[in-house]
Amino acid sequence: AALDRVAGSVRANPRFGGDRPPGVAPAGSGELRGLSFGTTAVDILAGLMSGLCRLVADDLTLLEAGIGEPMEVVLGGGALTASPWWRGAFLDVLAPRRVCWQRNPEIGATGAALVALGRLAEAEEIAGIGRTDEAASHA
């Protein structure tokens, strides 16, 4: 809830280690801007998380240029399951695309394990995709 108060004063480029494709930024390309004596750790975290959202949106725009239409986005993983704020930040930056999220916090590991075991049908059956504005169920 501490991130709710962050107004976005810190702008960040989180490419400290460079890019993954389709980007080409070398390691050390990251930066933080808008820092002041009043900047808190929460401000920096929110700036970095928002910066990551922008990187994903920029990369998705490049990929969509190849197919000529917007894609539907399904977010997943433990950090997104735990953070309604981050899901909302992705929703904002990815608009007007349809954005959903996979509630299973271990979706990446679960899916990778099923694929590695050759159990593709089961990997396709993993359920729990919901809208980004829905609260996470921790049952």
In this predicted structure, what is the pLDDT of residue 61? 92
What is the residue-level pLDDT of the chain in tens, covering all 139 positions? 444 444 468 999 999 888 877 678 888 889 999 999 999 999 999 999 999 999 999 989 988 999 888 888 888 888 888 899 999 999 999 999 999 888 877 877 877 787 788 776 666 666 555 555 555 444 3
DSSP assignment of the chain equals -GGGG--S--EEE--TT---TT--PPTT--EEES--TT--HHHHHHHHHHHHHHHHHHHHHHHHHHHTSPPPEEEESHHHHH-HHHHHHHHHHHTTS-EEEE--TTHHHHHHHHHHTT-HHHHHT---EEETTSPPP--
In this predicted structure, what is the pLDDT of residue 139? 37
DSSP assignment of 32-43 equals EES--TT--HHH
Tell me which residue of 94, 98, 85 sits closest to 135, measured CA to CA: 85
Residue 64: HSE in the Cβ half-sphere, 13 Å Cα cutoff: 13
In this predicted structure, what is the pLDDT of residue 138? 40
Structure tokens at 125: 């059956």
In this predicted structure, what is the pLDDT of residue 133? 57
Structure tokens at 20: 């993954």
Helices 41-67 and 84-94: crossing angle in degrees, nearest 10, is 40
Calculate the CA 49 to chain-centre distance: 8
